[in-house]
Amino acid sequence: MSGPKLRVLPLGGLGEIGKNMMAVEYDGRIVVVDTGLRFPTAEMLGIDLVLPDFTYLKERAEDIDAIVITHGHEDHLGALPWVMRELNRQGVNPPVYSTRLTIAMARSKLDEHKLKEVDLNDVRPGDEIAAGPFDVELVRMTHSIPDACAVALHTELGTVLVTGDYKFDQTPVDDKPADFSRLAELGRDGILLLAGDSTNADRPGYSPSESGVGPHLEEVFSRCEGRIVVTAFASNIHRVQQVVDAASELDRKVALVGRSMRKNVGIGRSLGHIDVPDGMLIQPQEVEDFPDHRVVVISTGSQGEPLSALRRMAHNDHRQIQLRRGDTVVFSATPIPGNERAVSDTVDRLYQIGCDVVTTADAPIHASGHGYQEELKLMLNLVKPRYVLPVHGDHKRIRLHGQLAEQVGIDPDDIFAGDNGLPLEIDEHGARFVDPEQAGMIFVDGVDIGDPADTALRDRRTLSADGIFIVVATISGQDGKPVHDPEVIFRGVPFMDDSDELAEEIRREIELILSRAADDKIREIEELQQELHEELAAFVYSRLKRRPMVLPVVVEV
Q: What pLDDT digit, counting tens, does each position of 22-45 carry?
A: 999 999 999 999 999 987 766 665
Predicted pLDDT at 460 = 53
Predicted pLDDT at 453 = 47
Q: What pLDDT digit, counting tens, does each position of 146-172 carry?
A: 999 999 999 999 999 999 999 999 999
Helix (H/G/I), strand (E/B), else coil: 42:
coil
User: Quick one: average pLDDT of 369-389?
Assistant: 98
User: Quick one: average pLDDT of 123-147?
Assistant: 95
Please provide residue 353's backbone torsions phi and psi, each rounded to the nearest 5 degrees: -65, -30
Predicted pLDDT at 380 = 98
Check the CA dihedral 459-465-466-467 and report its sign: positive
Q: Is the pLDDT of residue 243 over 90?
A: yes
User: Quick one: average pLDDT of 243-258?
Assistant: 95
CA distances from 254 to 124, 203, 294 (A): 32, 34, 9
Where is average pLDDT lowest: 95-99, 224-228, 531-535?
Answer: 531-535
Q: Which of 147, 165, 197, 327 is catalytic?
A: 197
Question: At 332, is the pLDDT very low, low, confident or very high (cuts 50, 70, 90)?
Answer: very high
User: Quick one: average pLDDT of 182-206?
Assistant: 97
User: Quick one: average pLDDT of 104-116?
Assistant: 92
Question: In this structure, are residues 367 and 208 in contact, taking their beta carbons and an 8 Å threshold?
Answer: yes
Percentage, residues of the chain above pLDDT 70: 92
Q: How many CA atoms lie within 13 A of 474 on its CB side?
A: 5
Where is average pLDDT lowest: 44-53, 217-226, 278-287, 504-513?
Answer: 44-53
- Burial class of 315 by CB neighbour count within 10 A (0 to 12, 13 to 18, 19+): middle
Give the separation between CA 513 and CA 414, rounded to whole angstroms: 66
For 214-366, strand residue ranges (E) read 228-231, 253-257, 281-282, 295-299, 328-331, 356-358
Percentage, residues of the chain above pLDDT 90: 68
Give the separation between CA 269 and CA 252, rounded to whole angstroms: 19
Amino acid, res. 375: E
CA distances from 9 to 63, 297, 421, 425, 433 (A): 14, 43, 6, 9, 10
Check the CA dihedral 296-298-302-307 and report its sign: negative
Give the separation between CA 253 and CA 291, rounded to whole angstroms: 10
Q: Is the pLDDT of residue 423 over 70?
A: yes
Q: What pLDDT digit, counting tens, does each position of 70-100 carry?
A: 999 999 999 999 999 999 999 999 999 999 9
Does the annotation mark 238 as catalytic?
A: no
Predicted pLDDT at 1 = 46
Give domain 6-205+368-450's CATH number out of 1.10.1740.10, 3.40.50.1970, 3.60.15.10, 3.40.50.720. 3.60.15.10
Q: Are strands 430-433 and 441-445 parallel, antiparallel or unpaired?
A: unpaired
Where is average pLDDT lowest: 3-12, 245-254, 528-537?
Answer: 528-537
Q: Is the pLDDT of residue 464 over 80?
A: no
Question: What DSSP designation does 387 have?
Answer: E
Q: Which of 370, 392, 401, 466 is catalytic?
A: 370
Predicted pLDDT at 44 = 65
Give the separation between CA 47 and CA 368, rounded to whole angstroms: 28
CA angle centred on 282, ends 240 and 349, rounded to 5°: 65
Q: Is the pLDDT of residue 480 over 90?
A: no
Q: Is the pLDDT of residue 522 over 80?
A: no
Distance of CA 378 to the CA centre of its chain: 28
Q: What is the CATH number of domain 210-358?
A: 3.40.50.10710
Higher pLDDT pick, 36 / 306? 36
Question: In this structure, are residues 365 and 333 in contact, taking their beta carbons and an 8 Å threshold?
Answer: no
Predicted pLDDT at 471 = 81
Please provide residue 360's backbone torsions phi and psi, each rounded to the nearest 5 degrees: -65, -15
Higher pLDDT pick, 214 / 1? 214
Instruction: Give the global pTM.
Output: 0.79
Predicted pLDDT at 509 = 86
Helix (H/G/I), strand (E/B), else coil: 264:
helix
Q: Is the pLDDT of residue 488 over 90?
A: no
Predicted pLDDT at 9 = 98
Predicted pLDDT at 39 = 78
Q: Is the pLDDT of residue 490 over 80?
A: no
Predicted pLDDT at 500 = 73
Predicted pLDDT at 48 = 73
Q: Is the pLDDT of residue 194 over 80?
A: yes
User: Quick one: average pLDDT of 411-429?
Assistant: 96
User: Quick one: average pLDDT of 531-556?
Assistant: 78
Question: In this structure, are residues 297 and 287 in contact, taking their beta carbons and an 8 Å threshold?
Answer: yes
Q: Is the pLDDT of residue 118 over 50?
A: yes
User: Quick one: average pLDDT of 173-183?
Assistant: 95
For 312-447, strand residue ranges (E) read 328-331, 356-358, 385-391, 424-427, 430-433, 441-445
User: Quick one: average pLDDT of 180-200?
Assistant: 97
Question: At 469, is the pLDDT very low, low, confident or very high (cuts 50, 70, 90)?
Answer: confident
Q: What is the mean pLDDT of the chain?
A: 89
Give the separation between CA 271 and CA 112, rounded to whole angstroms: 20
Predicted pLDDT at 246 = 95
CA distances from 292 to 153, 217, 284, 312, 316 (A): 53, 18, 13, 20, 18
Q: Is the pLDDT of residue 461 over 60?
A: no
Domain ranges within the chain, ordered by starting residue: 6-205+368-450, 210-358, 455-556
- Burial class of 453 by CB neighbour count within 10 A (0 to 12, 13 to 18, 19+): exposed
Provide the terminal-to-terminal Cα distance of the chain, rounded to the nearest Å.
75
If you classify domain 455-556 with CATH, what class do you get? alpha beta
Predicted pLDDT at 304 = 85
Predicted pLDDT at 418 = 95
Predicted pLDDT at 474 = 86
Q: Is the pLDDT of residue 457 over 80?
A: no
Does the annotation mark 370 as catalytic?
A: yes
Q: Is the pLDDT of residue 487 over 90?
A: no
Could you tell me how many residues make up the chain?
A: 557
Q: Is the pLDDT of residue 455 over 50?
A: no
Give the separation between CA 543 and CA 492, rounded to whole angstroms: 16
User: Quick one: average pLDDT of 487-498?
Assistant: 67
Question: In this structure, are residues 255 and 297 in contact, taking their beta carbons and an 8 Å threshold?
Answer: yes
